[in-house]
Every structure is written in C-alpha cells, then in structure tokens.
Amino acid sequence: MDKRIIYIGINGIYCEHCITTITTALKGLQGVTDVEIRNNVAKVTCCRLPDLDTFIRTIRDIGYDTDATRIGDKRRNVASHISLSDFVMILSIIILIAYVCRRITGFNIFTLIPTIDSSITYGMLIVTGMLTSIHCVCMCGAINLSASTESNSIRNYTRPLLYNLGRIISYTITGGVVGLIGSVISVNSAISGSIIQSEEPLIT
C-alpha cells in the first residue's frame, strides 16, 4: 500500500516533552505509521490518511493548536515564518517610536548602553552582564534548541556539543580575522567623529 506524507504546522511546541506528547497522540490515529517533529512542523506518514478535522481535533485536545491552513503536502507551506513586509513594518515601528521619544522627551535609548572599558566598575559590569543575558536566553537559546533538538529522542548530547563547538570555533576565527583587519586598517578622525586639536586653547 502506498504511503502518503503530510506536514502539520503546530503552535505551542517548546520542549522535548511537547514533541513526545504530540508524537504519541498522532501515532494513535488509525492509518498513521510514523511521526517526526522538527521546528514546530510534524511530518506524518500515513498508509491511510485521516481527514483533516481528525488531525486538528487530536492536536487541540492535547493542548496545542493548528488549523486547516497549516496542513499540507509541503513543509515550506506550513512552517511558521515572518514575511518580509511584516519584518519591515515591525522595524519601521521601532524606529518611529525611538525617533518620536527622542524628539519629544530628548531621551535616547542608545545612551543606556554602557561603554565596556577599563574604567567600568564591577557593579556596572555585573549589571551589563545581566542585561546582555536576556539576549543570550532569547536568541542564542532559541537557536541552540532548534539546532540541537532531535525529534523523537529523549537524550542526545552529540548535537548540542557539536553546536557549541562550532559556535566557539566560528566566534574565535571571526574575532581573529576582525582583529587582524583592525591591526592593519586605521580609521581617520573624520570618520570616527573625533576632533583633534593641535594646540591648547588660549586662556584670557
């Protein structure tokens, strides 16, 4: 009997427990022979395809969400992604808010970013580290999860280790290359915005 593969985009998948729960529920449907979940998309192999309402009802009954528009025979058609127009609109709104805030109140959010140099105190260094850790959790953590999570696997340390090893090596190489470029290329005062005075001002 010929097998058919469909893809289901599912909202609410955050961990391995979510993957296990959804996999078990979908495999319990009659006609489903295999389920593989990756990046919030379930790849379902069927020898006899259940109707779409059965998939939707099963997924919603266990606390997750999908709909008929997120079920199809191609992964790219059901995967969640932000469109270019949405990205441009969000970026434009952020820039507009920052501009209006500065024009009305004179407040510049970028002045809150401290300069990390030899004069920074230990207390400010700790505060800076705590603030930048938000970036690590929100962006780097999500990238780590998406890069190292293997569907239908409870424990697998190979992919997280490879991910972090690649990250460390790539950061080191990039830093070395940028440092090498910086050692042979200098930025003049006009570009850097600094003003060089050739003599001391006269005191009257």
Q: At 67, which CATH number?
A: 3.30.70.100
In this prediction, residue 178 carries a pLDDT of 85
162-195: per-residue pLDDT in tens?
A: 778 888 898 899 988 888 887 777 665 555 554 4
Q: Is residue 129 part of a domain?
A: no
Taking Cα atoms as reference points, which of 29, 107, 42, 102 lies closest to residue 72? 42
For residue 1, pLDDT over 70 is answered with: no
Q: Is residue 202 part of a domain?
A: no
Per-residue confidence at 102, pLDDT binned at 50, 70, 90? Answer: confident
Could you tell me if 46 and 63 lie in one domain? yes
Q: Is residue 172 part of a domain?
A: no
Q: Is residue 145 part of a domain?
A: no
Could you tell me if 71 and 90 lie in one domain? no
Dihedral of the CA atoms 135, 156, 148, 126 (nearest 10)?
Answer: 10
In this prediction, residue 190 carries a pLDDT of 55
In this prediction, residue 57 carries a pLDDT of 92
Residue owning tokens 């696997």: 153
Sheet holding 32-38, edge to edge: 32-38, 41-46, 4-9, 71-72
Could you tell me if 63 and 35 lie in one domain? yes
Q: Is residue 22 part of a domain?
A: yes
- CA distance linking residue 42 with residue 152, whole number of Å: 11
In this prediction, residue 204 carries a pLDDT of 46
Q: Indicate the range of 9-18, 48-57, 58-67, 159-168 predicted with least confidence.
A: 159-168
Could you tell me if 12 and 72 lie in one domain? yes
Q: Is residue 68 part of a domain?
A: yes
Could you tell me if 70 and 46 lie in one domain? yes
Q: Is residue 199 part of a domain?
A: no
In this prediction, residue 56 carries a pLDDT of 92
Q: Which domain holds residue 10?
A: 4-78
Could you tell me if 59 and 16 lie in one domain? yes
Q: Is residue 8 part of a domain?
A: yes
State how many domains the chain has: 2
Q: Indicate the range of 127-136, 140-149, 187-196 predicted with least confidence.
A: 187-196
Taking Cα atoms as reference points, which of 53, 47, 30 lies closest to residue 8? 53
Could you tell me if 16 and 53 lie in one domain? yes
Could you tell me if 88 and 62 lie in one domain? no
Could you tell me if 87 and 42 lie in one domain? no
- CA distance linking residue 144 with residue 16, whole number of Å: 14
Could you tell me if 40 and 59 lie in one domain? yes
Note the helical H segments in the chain.
Answer: 16-27, 52-61, 75-78, 84-105, 122-135, 141-148, 158-184, 189-192
Average pLDDT over residues 10-16: 85
